[in-house]
Amino acid sequence: MFLFACSVEAQSDSVFIRKMANEIFQHSTAYSNLYTLTKIIGPRLTGSPQTYISEKWASDALKQAGADHVYFQKAVVTHWVRGDKDQAALLSGNSRQNLHVIALGSSVSTKEGGITAPMVLIHDFDELEKRKNDIKGKIVFYNHPFDVDYVWVFMSYMMAVPYRVEGASRAAKYGAVGVLVRSMSSSTDNFPHTGALSYNDSFPKIPALAVGLQDADKLAAAASAQNDLRLFISTNAHTLPDTIAHNVIGEWTGSVHPDQFITVGGHLDSWDPGEGASDDGTGCVQSIEVLRSLKSIGYIPKHTIRFVLFADEENHGRGGSAYASEAKAKNEQHIFALESDGGGFTPRGFMFKGKDAQMLSVRPFLPLLVPYGITEFNMPGGSGPDVELLTDSIGILSAELVPDSQRYFDYHHAANDVFENVNKRELELGAINMAALIYLVDKNNP
């Protein structure tokens, strides 16, 4: 285990970080890389043709940014396909109101032509249990809203997301034939937000779709006015046999300890309705920018820094688990791992996962980041979804950049997660803080 040196040469470090910030503000390629990844390549659903186009792009971009060598690490991934029939409507008497919906990742299809069944409105799992005898043969509409009181919106997400992940199987347990889930967002528009569900194999697999927030409110209002409502849902989503995707890894060889690794990355895959800009094109291009900027100003790393663009974070996290398992199997020596997967918004903090002593060891770095907008370390919630597996498997400290969260869930997994909703300066400020933290960890480790 490594502990960071307690004394930080604050003066020279702050001069170095200032120089790097200037380099990024003046010459960053993060924004133009994001344009290519989102506008030219587009959404990168695991197993889709864009998976492999983006892997090739990532390899070229890492080489261009100065990686000593770039390689692919295999991950066996599931291959879910959306199809082209995601539809739903509210039926009442002879009237029909179409709804903005999208199938959840891993959902099975409805039968050809869709399913029509009575709707039962459920607010939470306690209510589901109380009304378990009302569920059979129906479509459950989970209308669990985001808790608006949290300032850090990821908390609202964590409270709501079980309805997306577990809702289908918990309803199927009592005989439901389908589910519609209020989108995981507190935005004011009507874009439905997709995301992964997880079936419990003990119960039948039933189709599950997310509905936009305005339509969710309409459904709730209709349900309080009358009780003979029916829902129509249709999707031909399905899962093909497992396939192969890759983590794309660029290495910058350490000058003192080439066999000791620091990891920085984001995930290359994305959901398909938008362009995968904030989730997680931004984390990928920021990681590449860390390499480009440190190299441009002549930094020589002591340890090998790996820039990893992970596969399959959204569906099953198989890229992250392949990376962590290989690190463990090969007995690799890792020091630290950082991920950016909270969007390219104005940075506010870093959160860490590790032992108390490991977290204390990075605290002296915080004042050096304050001029660039970072004011908090150790926010709750673990670290990056791919890199935290290294903490779980080999016990190292891992971290995630925490940008301002107010807008992240407006776009998360929805059709408006596009390039235009990323601000160039905010994106670069995130890259500056990531590069600064990687520099401080590298330099202050023996």
* Residues with catalytic function: 313
Shortest separation between residue 187's beta carbon and Zn ion, angstroms: 17
Shortest separation between residue 41's beta carbon and Zn ion, angstroms: 16
For Zn ion, which stretch binds (CB under 5 A), given 39-47, 67-75, 180-188, 274-282?
Answer: 274-282
Which of 251, 400 has the CB closer to Zn ion?
400
For Zn ion, which stretch binds (CB under 5 A), given 128-136, 208-216, 276-284, 430-438?
Answer: 276-284
Which residue's structure tokens are 């849902």? 233
Shortest separation between residue 279's beta carbon and Zn ion, angstroms: 4
Shortest separation between residue 286's beta carbon and Zn ion, angstroms: 13
Site map for Zn ion, 112-151, x if CB under 5 A?
----------------------------------------
Query: What is the separation, in whole angstroms, between the first and last Cα of the chain?
Result: 12
Site map for Zn ion, 330-359, x if CB under 5 A?
-----------x------------------
Which of 254, 344 has the CB closer to Zn ion?
344
Sole binder of Zn ion in the list 280, 404, 410, 417 (CB under 5 A): 280
- Site residues for Zn ion, window 282-341 (CB under 5 A)? 341
Tokens encoding 410: 């407006």
Please count the residues of this chain forming the interface with Zn ion, following the rule CB under 5 A: 3
341 touches 281 (CB < 8 A): no
Interface with Zn ion, residue 428, by CB under 5 A:
no
For Zn ion, which stretch binds (CB under 5 A), given 40-48, 153-161, 277-285, 356-364?
Answer: 277-285
Site map for Zn ion, 80-109, x if CB under 5 A?
------------------------------
333 touches 445 (CB < 8 A): no
Shortest separation between residue 369's beta carbon and Zn ion, angstroms: 23
- If phi over 0 gives left and psi between -120 and 50 gives alpha, with beta otherwise, what is residue 42? left
Which of 55, 386 has the CB closer to Zn ion?
386
Rounded Cα–Cα distance for residues 343 and 264 (Å): 15
Shortest separation between residue 280's beta carbon and Zn ion, angstroms: 4
Sole binder of Zn ion in the list 23, 272, 279, 426 (CB under 5 A): 279
Tokens encoding 289: 């920018």
Instruction: List residues near Zn ion by CB under 5 A.
Output: 279-280, 341
